């Protein structure tokens, strides 16, 4: 190998070394970026775990809370009943409600005793069941009145008819006829 070839080879090797050094610097920078991303990822995971713990503790505190404010307790009751529609179960009662919202039976009795609308949980459940039966009477014309009552949570049709008449001022049959006449006239 002559000196010219030797110098050309040295320049070629120096260029390769320079390229490798640049690649090494790029890899170091990339590793630093990845390290920062990993640190950020673990920081986010740590924060998520902390938030999960806080949510769990908050749920436990809410469940065990006395809920001294009647409006707040009533809002919890309404929300739980609307989402679960537990009131359509004829056997759903005071004990079930207390377990559902995480308070005592005594607290629920006191709430309704002070209520101006419903004097007992049973009155409130009947109110919800009547609303549900009205919905069925309007939307399910092929169902019998007894079927509408049962789907709403009533077990005794005579009791349903009496409660419906007292609350609405007409029988379930008259209500259904009124709804059908309004549909025809619309």
Report yes or no on whether pTM surpasses 0.75.
Answer: no
- In this prediction, residue 103 carries a pLDDT of 85
pLDDT score, position 183: 74
- Residue where the block lists tokens 């209500």: 175
Residues of the chain with pLDDT under 70: 1, 60-68, 184-186
Residue 155 has what pLDDT? 92
Torsion of CA 62, 66, 69, 71, to 10 degrees: 60
- pLDDT at site 140: 93
Q: Alpha helix (H) ranges present in the chain?
A: 3-64, 70-84, 94-101, 105-114, 121-139, 145-152, 157-168, 172-185
Q: Which two tokens stand for residue 46?
A: 């740590």
At 35 the pLDDT is 83
């Amino acid at each position: 190998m002559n000196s010219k070839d030797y110098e050309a080879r040295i320049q070629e090797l120096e260029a390769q070394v320079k390229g490798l050094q640049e690649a090494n610097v790029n890899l170091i920078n990339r590793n630093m970026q990845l390290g920062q991303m990993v640190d950020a990822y673990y920081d986010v995971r740590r924060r998520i775990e902390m938030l999960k713990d806080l949510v769990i503790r908050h749920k436990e505190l809410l469940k065990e809370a006395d809920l001294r404010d009647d409006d707040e307790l009533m809002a919890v009751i309404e929300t739980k009943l609307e989402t679960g529609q537990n009131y359509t179960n004829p056997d759903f009662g005071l004990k079930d409600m207390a377990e559902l919202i995480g308070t005592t039976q005594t607290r629920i009795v006191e709430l309704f005793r002070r209520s101006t609308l419903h004097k007992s949980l049973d009155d409130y459940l009947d109110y919800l069941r009547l609303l549900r039966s009205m919905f069925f009477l309007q939307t399910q014309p092929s169902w019998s009145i007894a079927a509408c009552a049962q789907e709403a949570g009533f077990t005794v049709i005579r009791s349903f008819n009496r409660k419906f008449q007292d609350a609405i001022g007409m029988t379930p049959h008259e209500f259904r006829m009124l709804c059908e006449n309004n549909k025809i006239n619309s």
